[in-house]
Amino acid sequence: MSERIQKRLAQLGLGSRREIEGWITTGRIVVNGELAILGQSVGSEDEIKVDGRSIDLSEEKKPSKHVLIYNKPEGEVCTRKDPQGRATVFDKLPAVHNGRWISVGRLDVNTSGLLIFTTDGELANKLMHPSSQIDREYAVRVLGDVDEPMLKRLTDGVELEDGPARFEEIVAPKPDEDDERANRWFFVCLQEGRNREVRRLWESQEGIKVSRLKRVRYANVFLEKKLRLGQWRYADQEELNGMYELVELEAPVLETEQEEKTERKEKHTRRTATPSTRPQAKQHRQQELQRRRRNTSNRSR
């Protein structure tokens, strides 16, 4: 079956569709000896090379679908390799067989918090695509005098250098929760992932400076306190179900979940044994009890 090349390579876990489209436009992908073009359809009979490396399009080469949650520290960059030698968010991730980790969105070097990685390029593409309208929530510490008219401007929308932008929601601290009015924490939510958008939105307002920024939620996944900076964990089944449902894809079933389902099924099968086997088992137990009683009676004599 033929599919668009960016979709097929994303399914193989080589990258998100957006990444692969970039590879096509820069001439990194060759199909049957010729440079690939956007939207080109390919099948298992086609010869694909990415940066000179042959890619097997066969179905059995599809990687397992995994999702990983990472708590990014400040100072790490969201690229696989950094020319300046800085630490990257990929350095601490576990190895993955037959595929690679794809970052669902990015955080700039001075931003910490929640990053999602997956081997499922289709999931990554849908979670990042603007049409999916996926929530991204941040905790942001703001220096400056923030008033109600300013909050209204930020939710109504302001013009940035790359177009209009707005926060979907701003949750401000109550006055009695924050004594230092010039340095306050806010929670903000938006549905885009443009470069440094949260910082640029706030700093479009006169006298405002962002001093700390941390992502605390992406889609249905929250950053929990027990996941320390620089640590990662695999998404659980509930998180997987929620993510895949949001973008109308079928969620994979974790091996542990599958094992539990199998065990529950086996227990159910044992409990609902056919009536013909239960009397036999009961008769066997009665015969065994009678045998033991006779032995006990004989010994007592």
Active site residues: 108
Give 123-138 as a DSSP string: HHHHHHSGGG---EEE
**Quick one: CA dihedral 149, 112, 115, 227, positive or negative?**
negative
Structure tokens at 250: 């079928």
**How far apart (Å, rounded) are the C-alpha atoms in residues 74 and 65?**
28
| Lookup result for tokens 């010039």 | 182
**How far apart (Å, rounded) are the C-alpha atoms in residues 42 and 26?**
19
Give 77-93 as a DSSP string: BSSSS-TT---BTTTTS
Residue 177 has what DSSP assignment? Answer: G
- Residues with Cβ within 8 Å of residue 271, at least 6 apart in sequence: none
**Quick one: CA dihedral 178, 179, 185, 188, positive or negative?**
positive
Radius of gyration from C-alpha coordinates of the chain: 28
Coil, helix or strand for 50? Answer: strand
